[in-house]
Structure 1
């Protein structure tokens, strides 16, 4: 989003893509761990997630820009804004998916909305930034780092919900702390695993 546009035909090398992918994944995990260990995420999840969103936007923009699938694609500034607006609009669909899968529909609206924004940023934004809205590009997506990161985020969020109903009475078990941590770790693991496999 805020990165300079690549000239046409310029490719990031495999090593540069791997280094950028590992660096952004490590930054996301480190940021989430810092929020968990400081207690701010468990004390005020909605406020903390909304405050962490700009940093997550920058990290996702870097990850999407340096993805190997995005190597030959150049986007104008307006196209990047369009992807951001479309991601923000699809946050409502992610919110609805969370409610349909069991999120508290009335009592934790702010927390679920913040979680939905982070999940849309982890899942929707990289896919739209890389493949756009072209159906042929989505059909040929394959198993690169961007789809693997999105799948990892979804699987991580789902697995992150497992400890919530357990009666350990830990502050990190409250909604949506383990789900957002699982989504971030899942996205990072998916991205790095796919980059290493390339």
Structure 2
């Protein structure tokens, strides 16, 4: 029996199913009261596919959440990797750091329950998760280039804590803090930490 080529493209029906599952999960996470309410059965039903198809595609609920989050985050990652200012690599670190954190905050505000589900997924420490390590490494490397910052590693952790999904959900949901107020407060915090004495 011939093995399928490793580089072979997914079948059209598999691609359609994946898109339908992502769309269904997006809608369910958007409308739910808490992310725990969203089950694999709910997603499969909303997408019009069998549960077996869903589990075959993603393995389990954590796998689905991780894949959906990565897909929705891809435009932001691309902008950071190769885009224009203020997120792109040509932007000076002291301007790029606040722009990056603002973008992360806006993403979590737009995808509150998905982001919260991702942080709650798995049984290990959230600080060892791939997505957290990615953002921490990027921030630390930028912060280490800013003279006003004494400890880039700790400062990166502190700034990421201000954009944690559970905090965003609490402020935007339970406390009804307006979006622009949250963005302004985060920008003020970042400015206090990175611009004092930096000459920018």
| TM-score w.r.t. length of structure 1 | 0.31
Q: Comparing both chains, which one has the higher relative contact order based on Cα–Cα distances under 8 Å and sequence gaps of 6 or more? A: 1
Structure of larger gyration radius:
2
